[in-house]
Amino acid sequence: MTSGLEIARGHVLAAGHGSGTAFVTDPVSFWGGVSADDGVIIDVHHRDRGRSVAGTVLVMPVGRGSSSASAVLAETLRVGSGPAAILLASPDIILAAGSVVARELYGIECPIVELDAASFEAVTACDGAPLGVDASDDLAVIRALDEECDLDP
């Protein structure tokens, strides 16, 4: 469990604990859009092409999942180039399955959380700030690990 100021609660799509710098971005498909080698966004149409998701708390509204997004997410987690957590504004069972598998096979956790609109808004205000995500059983808690977030509504 991380300590810090709670900024949001959400619905657990995949359980686990993770922390990292919030990376707020547009939807990216792991299949075809992210390099499993280094976590770098390779989708030529993406505004953050060239940036890496590795070690970040990846914040995007939807997962844009192809059927194979599970495999590519899990492969990034296996090689250590995956995100520390993923925060979404809608459910994505394909990404969730990738996280569940990485945990089963390698004990690597990447919690995936679905947030409501207000919570998602609060989290996007933390772009670039360190966040902690604790997702266990039926509740996920997102915390700001320092005070850089703009938490004013």
Partner 1 sequence: LGAGALILDDADEAMLAGEHGAACALGMRTVVAVAEGMRASRLLDITGAHIDGCIYYGRVCLDWALRFRTLGGHVRVPTTLNIGLLDLLHPGLTDLPEETARPARELMETYVELGANPTFTCAPYQLAGSRPGFGEHVAWAESNAIVFANSVLGARTNRYGDFFDIACAVTGRAPAAGLHLTEPRRARVVLDVSALSDALLASDVLYPVLGLLLGGLAGNRVAVIDGLPAGLHEDRLKAIGASAASAGAVAMFHAVGSTPEAATLADALQGEQPEAVVPVTPRDLRAARDRLQTARPDAALDGVCVGTPHASADELRRIVAALDGRHVRIPVWVNTARGILAGLAETRVEEALRDAGVTVVVDTCTYTAPVVRAVRGTVMTSSGKWAYYAPANLGVEVVFGSLEECIRSAVAGRIVRDDDFWA
* Residues recognised as catalytic: 66
CB 130 within 8 A of CB 146: yes
CA atoms of 31 and 100, how far apart (whole Å): 17
Among 48, 78, 125, 127, binds partner 1 (CB under 8 A): 78
136 binds partner 1 (CB under 8 A): no
Q: What angle do CA 5, 83, 10 make, to 5 degrees?
A: 45
**In 3-state terms, what secondary structure has residue 30?**
helix
Among 18, 39, 83, 98, binds partner 1 (CB under 8 A): 98
Residue in this structure with the two tokens 């997962």, named with its chain if needed: 63
81 binds partner 1 (CB under 8 A): no
Among 22, 28, 101, 133, binds partner 1 (CB under 8 A): 101
38 binds partner 1 (CB under 8 A): no
Nearer to partner 1, 6 or 146 (CB): 6
14 binds partner 1 (CB under 8 A): yes
88 φ, ψ to 5°? Answer: -125, 165
Stretch near partner 1 under the rule CB under 8 A, chosen from 17-25, 108-116, 126-134, 141-149: 108-116
CB atoms within 10 A of CB 53: 28
79 binds partner 1 (CB under 8 A): yes
Report the phi/psi class of residue 41: left, alpha or beta, with left for phi > 0 and alpha for psi in -120 to 50. beta
Helices 93-106 & 69-79 angle (0-180, nearest 10): 40
7 binds partner 1 (CB under 8 A): no
Nearer to partner 1, 5 or 139 (CB): 139
Among 102, 131, 142, 145, binds partner 1 (CB under 8 A): 102
Shortest Å, Cβ 70 to partner 1: 4
